[in-house]
């Protein structure tokens, strides 16, 4: 399965509320794969801290048809994680280019 790379601007648009009168957007699942300390120091909105301890539960309980946005520190490790989630049956997976470090300064 294939994942998509997404830049900060496109990700922000994807996560923004729909404009009035437009179709409702799909619920986006945001997952942060950084370490505990980094996640606690700051993360994107309603992101789930995804780690080995909750990965299987996430896969079993998540909506496979809803988009998944995966991010890490700089956008490198998230590519592998997004590819893995795509292999598990997630239909629409994205890896955030630049990761959280780019997100917080954009």
Location of structure tokens 């179709």? 23
d(CA 8, CA 58): 24
| 72: annotated active-site residue | yes
End-to-end CA distance of the chain: 30
Tokens of 51: 């780690």
Q: Of the residues 11, 72, 81, 86, which is catalytic?
A: 72
Residues acting as catalytic residues: 72
């Amino acid at each position: 399965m294939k994942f998509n790379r997404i830049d900060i601007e496109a990700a922000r648009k994807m996560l923004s509320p729909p404009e009035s009168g437009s179709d409702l957007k799909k619920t986006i699942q945001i997952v942060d794969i950084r370490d505990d300390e980094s996640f606690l120091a700051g993360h994107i909105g309603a992101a789930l801290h995804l780690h080995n301890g909750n990965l299987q539960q996430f896969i079993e309980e998540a909506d496979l048809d809803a988009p998944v946005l995966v991010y890490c520190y700089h956008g490198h490790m998230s590519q592998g994680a997004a590819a893995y989630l795509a292999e598990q049956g997630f239909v629409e997976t994205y890896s955030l280019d630049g990761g959280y470090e780019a997100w917080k300064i954009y």
